[in-house]
């Protein structure tokens, strides 16, 4: 009986030590893959974009898109935005609704920390919900708009170009 008691007493500290070690290793693996990304500069970048459009500085606003966006969709997107502003007499106000990290994996498996920023944009006769996918720009540390989505509030019509983020709910709890 004394022998069983000694074995049980020694096993308990080993089990506790093993569990603690497991939690520490699991935490180290998890936190080594987590990187903090400050979303505020991307949000400010998007606000600068809408501010320039509001002031009628279309060329300066379009210079804020990434080179890839401009090469693939630039002229077509510029025409769409110009028509939207002409028909609805320009942007009168905009408001940031929220932002979230949107990691984008490139074709070479490199992950880049993009930010999806949502805005409510008011034109004289139209309100729309707009999302900008803002990523680090290839010309350096500054940002660039890699994707833009517009949903008209009046008709629900949706326009999108560039990198767009699809959000899906896998499960919900009530």
C-alpha–C-alpha distance, residues 26 and 18, integer Å: 12
23 alpha-carbon distance from chain centroid: 31
Strand 91-105 relative to strand 111-123: parallel, antiparallel, unpaired?
antiparallel
Q: Give 84-127 pLDDT, tens digit per residue.
A: 988 998 999 999 999 998 888 877 877 888 999 999 999 999 99
52-56, 76-80, 148-152, 164-168: the lowest-pLDDT one: 164-168
Structure tokens at 106: 């490139």
The pLDDT, as a whole number, for residue 166 is 72
Q: Give 10-31 pLDDT, tens digit per residue.
A: 666 666 766 677 666 565 555 5
The pLDDT, as a whole number, for residue 157 is 94
Task: Collect all residues with Cβ–Cβ distance below 8 Å to 115 and sequence separation of at least 6.
Answer: 37, 39, 42, 43, 99, 100, 101, 102, 133, 134, 135
pLDDT band at 8 (very low <50, low <70, confident <90, very high): low
User: For residue 137, is pLDDT > 80?
Assistant: no
Find the farthest-apart pair of alpha carbons in the chain and give their distance in angstroms, rounded.
91
Element (H, E) at 164: none
Whether residue 110 contacts residue 116, with contact meaning beta carbons closer than 8 Å, is answered with no
C-alpha–C-alpha distance, residues 87 and 123, integer Å: 9
Strands (E) located in the chain: 91-105, 111-123, 126-136, 143-152, 158-162
Regarding pTM above 0.95, the answer is no
The pLDDT, as a whole number, for residue 71 is 93
User: For residue 155, is pLDDT > 90?
Assistant: yes
The pLDDT, as a whole number, for residue 112 is 84
Q: Give 63-74 pLDDT, tens digit per residue.
A: 999 998 999 999
Structure tokens at 3: 């022998």
């Amino acid at each position: 009986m004394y022998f069983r008691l000694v074995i049980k007493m020694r096993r308990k500290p080993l089990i506790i030590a093993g569990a603690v070690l497991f939690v520490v290793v699991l935490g180290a693996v998890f936190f080594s893959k987590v990187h903090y990304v400050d979303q505020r500069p991307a949000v400010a970048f998007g606000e600068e974009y809408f501010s320039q459009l509001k002031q009628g500085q279309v060329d300066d606003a379009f210079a804020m898109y990434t080179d890839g966006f401009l090469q693939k969709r630039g002229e077509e997107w510029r025409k769409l935005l110009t028509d939207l502003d002409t028909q609805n007499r320009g942007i009168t106000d905009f408001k940031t609704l929220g932002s979230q990290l949107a990691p984008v994996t490139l074709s070479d498996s490199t992950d880049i920390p993009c930010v999806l920023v949502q805005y409510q944009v008011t034109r004289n006769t139209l309100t729309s919900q707009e999302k900008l996918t803002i990523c680090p720009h290839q010309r350096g540390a500054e940002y660039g708009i890699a994707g833009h989505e517009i949903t008209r509030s009046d008709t629900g019509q949706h326009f999108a170009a560039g990198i767009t983020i699809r959000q899906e709910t896998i499960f919900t709890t009530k």
